């Protein structure tokens, strides 16, 4: 069977599986719809969180991105994993103890203010929509590349599927489909990596293989002597071609520091990740679930740098200085998708790879390569059977769909639970609220699909936005909400607004209003728009503390609630220790 | 759990958090970013320059271990103070 046939078969089977799970896990109550009745086993929740977290960008683009950034690319690897440590020790157990349904609801009750709840729900909707647009686009792109449909048709197919299981199953349906999607995506990611690692180094563990020496078989493929370390080979060829050595950092360390930090605290502030920890039965499950989630994520995240090194070395060694007429088959196949291209500037029929734009006449580079090719062409580079190529397509779809569903649930809950039930019509019955939740989820799918078909600007820029905003809005007010009883509603609202306005203004200025100025010499302290969320977060903290200290302290019930978040079980005796002694921080 | 015990429980938790987050900061921001070049120059670990390894994989491995250590510490603390959920 050909690649196309296998792809239809495997993608079709995976979709049938997701639909089957959705029917089996239909939500019956609002508790089911928002938090799966808090009945999810921590290991399963860890898997679901992994799929929720790893998006089309993690699956398709990250390894390629790293392969072009070298060690500086680690900011994505560390930035998109380190937030789980923050979640495990600073957020998840306490929010699970709080025990209700949504992040805006926590903000509203902790800061005893419906206005704070409304600001929080607007932030949640805005962050989630910016993020979900990219996911629907990702579904469309996978469809168009692997199934030879149009991008729009792919978006519509993805919408129909997500509509079905998110509207029907709510959090319960989403959780169990995410568990299945995690299994699909991790198998799809690991199989090509393991085979390439064996081919090039003889080591079956890709995480270790890329630090190993080239094997005899690998020496035949790469044309370098067996026994040389792969990383030394790559460092050497990069330097020969005029690139910086792969294992050295190419970017300014302060900017790498700031971006990593913004991604970590952004992770810990993303509502669709936080609510996953509302679904486990116990407080200690919230802690262990964060550990399982990170373990499942790290399997992919420690493999990505290996794929980056394998693919980059193989790419340069099999393409550079080779006659175009003898280009490998995968190069010819992917030329059709325009992800790779050869522009014979000097007319010698030989492909010369060098720094600079392949399309511009000013550089010597003749080979255009899209970073996504590093993952997408992997199975063919490793000469794996056609069904493995099909599996990669199913894996990319699983990654995009699982993230989209988690985000849509946040939007739906923000509207039905926080806006309708919480603020506008508190007298609504549970049945009506469930109805609203489903209608809101349905509308959210339609809007996400619209953005998938008409993407707003560059998807990657939009995702940087989501992290910066989550870092500068939610993270500080949730942390102080848990750890500092003295934080007041005035402080929280002022902090949230300052953080978001500052971060959004900086990003909008450099990314959308004046992209020509978007270079290191114009940035404040050399911090790029991707990293500015860290400064926004610090501003939010500073304003929050300052304003809280000069405003009236929170009511006693609120302070008691904050104290109760700290203990897994209620106190036998009401606390008699004076407040100052129990620790104001 | 009495009030004084609550205080002791919370203080112990805060101590754990400070220690865990210090290690979290050291492996990623110090070893992987600020001092990565010095560590690279110091030698290799299983074929990887040390700073590069911390940035690429080491910090993630340590993150996973840190969370499970915290889980273990907190479960032990919960049992000690009689607030372990069953």
Instruction: Check A288 against B20: CB less than 8 A apart.
Output: no
Please give the pLDDT value at position A461: 62
Distance CA A424, CA A491 (A): 24
A85 and B24 in contact by Cβ < 8 A?
Answer: yes
CA of A165 vs chain B CAs: smallest distance (Å): 31
Residue from the list B3, B11, B64 with its beta carbon closest to the beta carbon of A295: B64
d(CA A331, CA A251): 30
Query: pTM of the entire structure?
Result: 0.90
| CA–CA min distance B16, chain A (Å) | 9
DSSP B28: I
> H-type helices in A91-215, by residue range?
92-98, 103-110, 114-146, 151-201, 206-209
The radius of gyration of chain B's CA atoms, rounded to the nearest angstrom, is 18
Q: Which residues of A touch B37 (CB under 8 A)?
A: 248-249
pLDDT at A460 (0 to 100) = 57
Chain A interface test: which of B71, B72, B83 (most A C-beta within 10 Å):
B71
Scanning every residue of chain A, which has its alpha carbon at the shortest distance from the alpha carbon of B8?
A582
Q: What is the pLDDT of residue A582?
A: 43
Instruction: Supply the pLDDT for residue A459.
Output: 56
Residues of A in contact with B52 (CB under 8 A): 71, 231, 247
- Partner residue facing B6 (CB), from A71, A231, A575: A575
- DSSP assignment of A67-98, as one string? HHHBGGGHHHHHHHHHHHHHIIIIIHHHHHHH
Contact B3 A575 (CB under 8 A): yes
Cβ-nearest to A571 among B6, B64, B85: B6
Q: Which residues of A touch B48 (CB under 8 A)?
A: 211, 231
Distance from CA of A479 to the nearest CA of B (A): 13
B41 neighbourhood in chain A, CB within 8 Å: none
Q: Tell me if residue B51 falls in helix, strand or coil.
A: helix
Low-confidence residues in chain B, pLDDT < 70: none
Residues of chain A contacting B63 with CB distance shorter than 8 Å:
81-82, 84-85, 294, 298
**Consecutive 10-residue averages of pLDDT for chain A (585 residues):** 86 90 84 83 92 87 87 90 94 88 89 89 85 82 81 87 83 89 93 90 89 84 84 85 81 87 91 89 91 95 92 87 85 81 84 83 83 82 83 89 88 83 82 87 88 69 78 92 93 92 87 75 80 93 95 91 84 46 43
Interface of B with A in 16-55 (CB under 8 A): 16-17, 20-21, 24, 28-29, 32-34, 36-37, 40, 46-49, 51-53, 55
Closest CB to B52: pick one of A71, A257, A284: A71
Q: Give the integer Cα–Cα distance in Å for A17 and A36.
A: 19
Q: Does A81 touch chain B (CB under 8 A)?
A: yes
Question: Chain B partners of A74 at a C-beta cutoff of 8 Å?
Answer: 32, 55-56
The pLDDT, as a whole number, for residue B39 is 85
Q: Between B7, B36, B71, which is nearest A291 by CB?
A: B71
The residue assigned the tokens 């605290």 is A265
8 A C-beta contact, residue A324 and residue A351: yes
CA distance B13 to A383: 52
Mutate to test the interface with A, among B14, B16, B63, B81 (most CBs of A within 10 A): B63
Crossing angle of helices A114-146 and A459-483, in 10° steps, is 150
Q: Do A583 and B71 touch (CB under 8 A)?
A: no
The Cα B36–Cα A206 span in angstroms is 23
Using a CB–CB cutoff of 8 Å, tell me whether A578 touches chain B: no
CA angle A90, A91, A94 (to 5 degrees): 105
Task: Tally C-beta pairs within 8 A across A and B.
Answer: 156
Q: Compare all CA atoms of chain B with the CA of A286 and give the residue at the minimum distance.
A: B71
Count of C-beta atoms within a 10 Å radius of residue A99: 12
Can you tell me the distance from the alpha carbon of A193 to that of A200, in angstroms, rounded to the nearest whole number?
11
List of long-range contacts for A12-21, beta carbons under 8 Å, 24+ apart: A14/A180, A14/A184, A14/A394, A14/A397, A14/A398, A15/A161, A17/A180, A18/A161, A18/A165, A18/A177, A18/A180, A18/A181, A18/A401, A19/A161, A19/A164, A19/A165, A21/A165, A21/A169, A21/A173, A21/A176, A21/A177, A21/A180
Q: Which of A42, A66, A88, A573 to mutate to test the interface with B (most CBs of B within 10 A)?
A: A88
Are A290 and A103 contacting, i.e. CB atoms less than 8 angstroms apart? no
**Contact status, residue A214 vs residue A318, Cβ threshold 8 Å:** no
Task: Give the separation between CA A175 and CA A167, rounded to whole angstroms.
Answer: 13
- CA–CA distance, A436 with A423 (Å, rounded to integer): 14
Question: Is A268 within 8 Å of A90 (Cβ atoms)?
Answer: yes
DSSP single-letter state for residue A577:
S
Query: Of A65, A302, A77, which Cα lies nearest the Cα of A205?
Result: A302
Say whether residue B2 is in contact with chain A using an 8 A CB cutoff: yes
Q: What six digits make up the tokens of A292?
A: 């399982």
Q: Which pLDDT does position A524 carry in this prediction?
A: 82
Give the mutation candidate from B4, B33, B69 for the A interface (greatest A CB count, under 10 A). Answer: B33
A244 in B contact zone (CB under 8 Å): no
User: How close is the nearest chain A Cα to the Cα of B23, in Å?
Assistant: 11
Distance from CA of A215 to the nearest CA of B (A): 14
């Amino acid at each position: 069977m050909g690649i196309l046939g296998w792809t239809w078969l495997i993608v079709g089977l995976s979709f049938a599986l997701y639909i089957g799970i959705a029917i089996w896990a239909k939500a019956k109550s609002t508790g089911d719809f928002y938090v799966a009745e808090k009945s999810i086993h921590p290991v399963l929740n860890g898997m679901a969180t992994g799929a929720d977290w790893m998006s089309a960008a993690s699956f398709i683009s990250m390894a390629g991105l790293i392969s072009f950034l070298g060690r500086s690319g680690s900011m994505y690897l560390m930035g998109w994993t380190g937030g789980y440590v923050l979640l495990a020790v600073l957020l998840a157990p306490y929010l699970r103890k709080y025990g209700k349904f949504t992040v805006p609801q926590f903000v509203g009750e902790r800061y005893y203010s419906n206005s704070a709840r409304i600001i929080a729900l607007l932030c949640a909707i805005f962050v989630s929509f910016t993020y979900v647009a990219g996911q629907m686009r990702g579904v469309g792109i996978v469809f168009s590349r692997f199934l030879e449909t149009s991008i729009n048709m792919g978006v519509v197919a993805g919408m129909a599927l997500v509509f079905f299981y998110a509207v029907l199953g709510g959090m319960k349906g989403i959780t169990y489909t995410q568990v299945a999607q995690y299994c699909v995506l991790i198998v799809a990611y690991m199989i090509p990596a393991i085979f390439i690692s064996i081919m090039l180094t003889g080591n079956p563990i890709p995480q270790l293989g890329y630090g190993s020496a080239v094997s005899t078989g690998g020496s035949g493929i790469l044309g370098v002597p067996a026994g040389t370390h792969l990383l030394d080979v790559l460092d050497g060829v990069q330097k020969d071609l005029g690139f910086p050595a792969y294992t050295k950092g190419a970017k300014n360390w302060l900017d790498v520091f700031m971006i990593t930090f913004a991604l970590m605290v952004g992770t810990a502030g993303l509502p669709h990740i936080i609510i996953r920890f509302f679904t486990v039965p116990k407080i200690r499950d919230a802690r262990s679930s964060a550990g399982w989630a990170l373990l499942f994520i790290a399997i992919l995240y420690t493999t990505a740098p290996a794929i980056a090194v394998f693919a980059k070395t193989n790419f340069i060694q099999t393409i550079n200085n080779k006659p175009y007429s003898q280009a490998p088959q995968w190069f010819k196949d992917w030329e059709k998708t325009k992800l790779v291209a050869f522009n014979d500037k000097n007319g010698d029929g030989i492909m010369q790879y060098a720094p600079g734009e392949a399309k511009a006449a000013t550089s010597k580079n003749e080979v255009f390569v899209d970073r996504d090719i590093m993952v997408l062409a992997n199975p063919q580079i490793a000469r794996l059977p056609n069904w493995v190529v099909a599996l990669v397509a199913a894996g990319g779809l699983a990654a995009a769909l699982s993230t989209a569903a988690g985000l849509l649930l946040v939007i739906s809950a923000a509207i039905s639970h926080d806006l309708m039930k919480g603020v506008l019509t508190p007298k609504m019955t549970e049945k009506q609220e469930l109805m609203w939740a489903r209608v809101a989820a349905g509308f959210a799918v339609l809007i996400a699909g619209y953005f998938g078909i008409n993407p707003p600007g560059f998807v990657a820029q939009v995702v940087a936005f989501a992290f910066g905003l989550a870092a500068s809005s939610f993270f500080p007010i949730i942390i102080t909400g848990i750890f500092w009883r003295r934080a007041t509603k005035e402080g929280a609202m002022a902090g949230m607004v300052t953080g978001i306005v500052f971060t959004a203004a900086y990003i909008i200025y450099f990314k959308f209003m004046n992209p020509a100025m978007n270079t290191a010499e114009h940035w404040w302290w050399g911090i790029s728009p991707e990293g500015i969320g860290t400064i926004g977060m610090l501003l939010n903290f500073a304003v929050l503390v300052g304003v809280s200290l000069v405003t009236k302290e929170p009511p006693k019930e609120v302070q008691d609630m904050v104290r109760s978040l700290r203990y897994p079980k209620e106190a036998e005796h009401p606390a008699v220790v004076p407040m100052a002694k129990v620790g104001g921080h | 759990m009495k009030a004084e015990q609550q205080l002791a429980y919370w203080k112990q938790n805060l101590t754990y958090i400070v220690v865990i987050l210090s290690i979290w900061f050291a492996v990623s921001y110090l070893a992987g970013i600020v001092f990565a070049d010095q560590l690279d120059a110091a030698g290799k670990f299983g074929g990887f320059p040390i700073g590069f390894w911390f940035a690429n994989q080491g910090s993630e491995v340590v993150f996973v271990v840190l969370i499970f250590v915290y889980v273990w510490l907190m479960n032990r603390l919960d049992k000690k103070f009689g607030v372990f959920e069953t």
